[in-house]
Structures are given as structure tokens and as C-alpha cells.
Amino acid sequence: MTERKTPPAPEGAPAPVGTKTRERGDRGPGNAGTGPLRPEAGRKRDRPWLMRTYAGHSTAEASNELYRRNLAKGQTGLSVAFDLPTQTGYDPDHVLARGEVGRVGVPVSHLGDMRRLFQDIPLEQMNTSMTINATAMWLLALYQVVAEEQGADISKLQGTTQNDIVKEYLSRGTHVFPPGPSLRLTTDMITYTVNRIPKWNPINICSYHLQEAGATPVQEIAYAMSTAIAVLDAVFASGQVPEERRGDVVARISFFVNAGVRFVEEMCKMRAFGRIWDKITRERYGIEDPRQRRFRYGVQVNSLGLTEAQPENNVQRIVLEMLAVTLSKDARARAVQLPAWNEALGLPRPWDQQWSLRIQQVLAHESDLLEYEDIFAGSHVIEAKVSALVEECLAEIDRIQEMGGAMAAVESGYLKSQLVASHAERRARIEAGEEKIVGVNCFQSTEPNPLTADLDTAIQTVDPANEARVVAALHEWRDNRDESRAQEALAALKATAAGDGNLFAATLECARAGVTTGEWAWALRDVFGEFRAPTGVSSAPVAVAAEEGTPLAAVREKTARTAAELGAGRLRLLVGKPGLDGHSNGAEQIAVRARDAGFEVVYQGIRLTPEQIVDAALAEDVHCVGLSILSGSHAELVPDVLHRLREAGAADIPVVVGGIIPNADAAELRRAGVAAVFTPKDFGITEIIGRIVDEIRKASKLDPLESTEVPA
């Protein structure tokens, strides 16, 4: 996803939208723009995009081995997945890190971990993407120090740090600090890299998770562009970049997007993205060089649309989604990473990731895709769709600017409530059968699947003992470092944070002094404080009709009758997110539908300990506790909640659990006392709420009600 400062453009670089290009071997005017029906003799094939696999788990050593194997298979860039403690600024021995260490990515707690992560991988020759946001400055500092130790010229380092905190407040939940200080960290990192690591992309504005949180194409573009405006405004207002270098800053802003299965709409979305970015950078920031205004983006295709039911269908979904960001040369991604077919089931194995890499390689090297100019140029259908998207997006961007910009729209809750509402509407369409998902709400009959015949071996598992080993290694690191130097570095970091200096130099010294991830983050927490983002639940409108005879009306009747029999005004449901998993989309949709079904819902957002959840359940006298976990930490955290409820004399409160939970784990949870386990195959939210009412009746020893629900 990087770009050279002078032509030729880098791998996979699209031409500026709206321009025509000619490459070596092109001679006739007919080959500019639309191109002939077949490639002209002698025309050079375009370079393929960077091919990556989002990977990392367990330990730095295990992840390093995985990276080297993937590179040997033809992968052309690295994409590092960090575990949730690393992403949210906690060391592995923190109470909130329990059950999360090495689950969804690799734990990197200090310089030693980063050394092992990239051992025998020459960073000066690598293009590395790091999906990291709140702690992006810290991880880039560790990366730079390791590169220096390898003897690399840091001015030649190429890669990307995600570093988009706005979408964390809205969808992914790995934020730490309030919006203002978070924007300062981003600003300081951008200005540092532009001056010292000029080939590095210090941020990719990430709309990927917005789509997973329910964003429409218009919302995805508008919210991402509003974030980019907020970032650029802050960088230029900081005074750290001279006027003549504004173009260098703009040229280093990249984007990371989502491509769904509606591939024509998604391809048009990318063309609209390019046009709007060109307009904003030219008109708002006065960037004259079209190369600096180029819309540069990487993509991971949609994981939200991958299904647990008939998971083999995910392969064709992935292919269609990849075509959306590769077919159109003028809107082609500069880097692509594909999920694996089994990600709705659990952690992919190396073979599953290899399959996704081979999908890219077949398209790039066996097909004739890269032999042609843009095959959609001149299409009136595409042009009409793109123009409509541009018009709607610009109107929404203006609306956000009138509110004070993206940060103000985060703090007011506007952006979050809009996403929760859009997601609720989408879920309602799926449940009603208006939006079809093969194998889920239509064409559900299936032959036995040999890929999942042994479901528990169809995914990668993380050794439960891994966490203890990582914690022990962390303690050994702390014991062996120069403690006085580490504390001096932390004191200097705090002093810089309390002032207005650039934080990167102090962060580099922390990295070199052996400071840990949690210590760096806590030093900044002490100065900046922490932030709990709005949930968007209370302000989300009703998305599902509840007229007489509808499924929701039937569940409402059952809810009200149960509350009356228990002598309660309303049934009370606590929706809890234990641990560090910030993917709250499912929890929010359960909370909204339960509210609409007549429940009083207690939902305090993400990042809670089992102790806090149980305390809230007791204080609110709830009738049911619903836990949502997608990170794989359910085996540790759910039994802890059950134990604490029993210790408090509240064992009669039923606990239900939802998440990406393998069959064997689900059976263990039920044996431990969980009343019901819901996984992605349980797509009917109204039905889930009805089953929660049934569990409340069973726990309260009420007679079962005859079903009054009307099939959807």
C-alpha cells in the first residue's frame, strides 16, 4: 500500500480517477482510456497488487514461523494481527487480558517480542501492514528500533499502520484515550513519519469495520472521508508541517476498505471514493499534484458476510468480493488480503490461509485481468451509480462538518446511532427474507460437508497454556531490564504528554529502554484519561414491525406475560461484553431488539471484567445475563461469570452466551451451566429474544408457554 514519490507508480497503483493513462507498449490513441477489445501486442501487463494474509497468533515465535512460511508461498507483503491486550494497551498479566492473550493475534509486549516477531525477515525489503490503532505509535516505534538493530535505513521502510481511532469508537472497540488526545497521537505520528520514514503510510483511514457495523456505501464513504478531513485539519493546524510539504502529508494518507458481495455496487463505491478524495484534497487543501491526490487503498473483503451455515459458500463470496476491488483498473486496490472460508467458525489454519492466497494468485497470474485498461470506462450504468453515490456522500460529509466534524459527531453519538440503526435495518431485511443469504435464510438443504465433518479440527486452536508462558516471559523481561532507564523514559513520556511536544521521540526512548506495552499506555492514561464511547443503543429507532400477528408482537406478548407472572414491571436483561473483545455489533443488535420486545436492557458497553458484570447484574436485579464474546476468550471468562453468580447466591439467574464458539466449546459451556449458546447460524434476533424469555421462565420455574410466534 505504499507509493514511490516519482513515477512509475507502485504495485497495483490505480491511475487517478477520471484520467487516462498509457503504458509502455501502447501506441495508438485507441488504447488510451477504454482500450481495445484485446490487449495490444507488446503491451506490458500491469503489476499485481500486494498480496497479504492477515495473520498472527499465540506467540511472536509462532507468528514469525507463519510469516516466513507465507512469504515462501508467494505472499508479497505482511499483515500483522495483534492480540487484543496489545491493541488496547494492556500487558498480558492485566486482569482484562485474561483469556485474550494470543487469541486473535500475536502478543507484543516489548522490544524483545518485536525482535522475535521479525527474526530473519529483512524489514528494509519488506512491506508490512500493522492493524493497530490506539497503540499505533508504540508499535511503530518498536518496529523502527528492530529495523535499526537489523542495520536498516529507516527512511526506506515501507508499510502501513492503521491508526484510525474514529472507527474504533464506532465499530471495533480498541480505543483507549479520548478523541482529542487520540487525534494528537495520530498527528504526531504522521508528522514524524513524513519527515523521518517518508515511504511509510502512518494511517489508513479504515472504513472496513464501518461496513461490518452496518454502514451503507454512503455512510462508509462519508464517515471515512470525514475522518480524513479531521486528521488532515489537525496535522496542518499543529504547525509541525511547513506549507510547502502539505502535499507530502496528503500523499501518505491511505485507506483500508471493505468489499461486500454486491460487487457492482462495491466497485462503484471505490470509484466514488476516488473522485471524492480527489475533490477534497484539491479544493480543501489545495493539492495540485495529481499523484499526491491519488486515492490509495488496501482491502480485506467482507468477513461479516461469511456464514457458519454451509461455510463452503464463503469461497465464492470471497472471490466475488475480490473482483469488486480488482476488475476496475482505475479503482483497483493496491493491496489485498482475503479472509479464509472458515473464519465464521474460528481461527483459520495455515492451509485455509494458503487457499485464500492462491485465490489471489490465480486471478493475478492465470487470468488476463492485468492485460487491459479499465474495462468499465464509458459504461453509462457505472457512471450513473458512481455519480449518485458521490452526490449523496458529499451531502452527508457536509452534514457532519456542520456538526463540527468527525470527532464532534463521535462524541455526540450521531455516527454510532446511525450505524446501529443501519445494522438493525439490515438484520431485519435478512430475517424477513428480503435480503437473501444462501444457506442461511434460503436454500438451506445441504449434503454433508467433508470440510467440516470433524468441526473441531477444521479450525486452528490456541493452546490454553500459552497465556501462562507469555506472562512468565513478560515477568522475566521486566526482571532483566535496566529498571531505572525504563522509569526515566516513562517519566519523560508523561512530561511530554502533559505539554505540547511531539510524542514520538519519547516513545522511541521507551521502546529502547525496555518499557512494556501496558506501561506505555498507562503512562498516557494517567495524563489523557480513558474514554467510553457511546453505544448508540438507546437512540436507535425501531427497525422491525410489531403489528399484531408479527413475530415481534408475539415475543412482546410473551415478555409482558412473563413479567406479570414474576410480579416485575418489565423483564430486565443485562447484555455484557467481558474481556477486551470490542466487536459489539451483535451485542448492540440484541440490546435493541430486546428493548423493542419490552425488556428493560442494561448495556454498559465493552471492556468489562466478570466481576463488574456480576456486580451490575445484582445491582440491577436482572432476570437474565447475556454475554457476547467473539475473540475466543469464552472458555475463560464465561465460567468466571457463572462462578461469581453462584458465590453471590444468584445461581438462578440464567446466563446465555453468543459468539464464534466451536461445537466442543459450546458443549463445555452448557455443562458448566450456561442456559443457551448462540452462534452466527442463529441469525433470527427476534427468535433469540423469544428463547431468552423461555430460559427466564424455565429458571423461574414457570410453566412453558405455548408458542404464539408467527413464522417470519
Contacts of the segment 276-281: beta carbons below 8 A, 24+ positions apart: 276/221, 276/225, 276/390, 276/393, 276/394, 276/397, 277/225, 277/228, 278/16, 278/17, 278/18, 279/394, 280/225, 280/228, 280/229, 281/250
Q: How many helices (H) and strands (E) does the chain have?
A: 25, 15
Residue 238 C-alpha cell reads as 499543529
DSSP structure string for 671-695 = HHT-SEEE-TT---HHHHHHHHHHH
Q: Which residues of 452-480 are buried (b: 16+ CB within 10 A; e: fewer)?
A: beebeebbbbbeeebbeebbebbeebbee
Give which of 397, 424, 154, 369 is closest to 283, Cα–Cα. 397
Strands 50-52 and 572-576: unpaired
Pick the catalytic residue from 208, 223, 297, 372. Answer: 208
**583 a catalytic residue:** yes
Whether 698 is catalytic: no
Is there a contact between 220 and 393 (Cβ–Cβ < 8 Å)?
Answer: no
Neighbouring CB atoms inside 10 A of 505's CB total 15
**Given 209, 558, 623, 634, which residue is catalytic?**
209
Q: Where are the beta strands (DSSP E) in 436-567?
A: none
Told to judge if 682 belongs to the known catalytic residues of this protein, a careful annotator would answer no
Is 208 labeled as catalytic in the residue annotation? Answer: yes
Name the active-site residue from 83, 188, 352, 581: 581
Kindly name the residue from 385, 583, 623, 634 that is annotated as catalytic.
Answer: 583
Asked whether 383 and 330 are in contact (CB, 8 A), the reply is no
Say which of 54, 67, 223, 603 is annotated catalytic: 54
d(CA 31, CA 570) in angstroms, rounded, equals: 69
The answer to whether 365 is a known catalytic residue is no
Spatial neighbors of 37 by CB under 8 A, at least 6 apart, are: none
- Residue 571's nearest CA partner among 685, 702, 424 is 702
Clarify whether 285 is annotated catalytic. Answer: no
- CA-nearest of 57, 55, 54 to 102 is 57
CA 168 to each of CA 172, 227, 397: distance values in angstroms, whole numbers, following the listed order: 5, 12, 19
Residues in the chain: 712
The single residue of 199, 577, 623, 634 carrying the catalytic annotation is: 577
Q: Which residues are catalytic?
A: 54, 208-209, 577, 581, 583
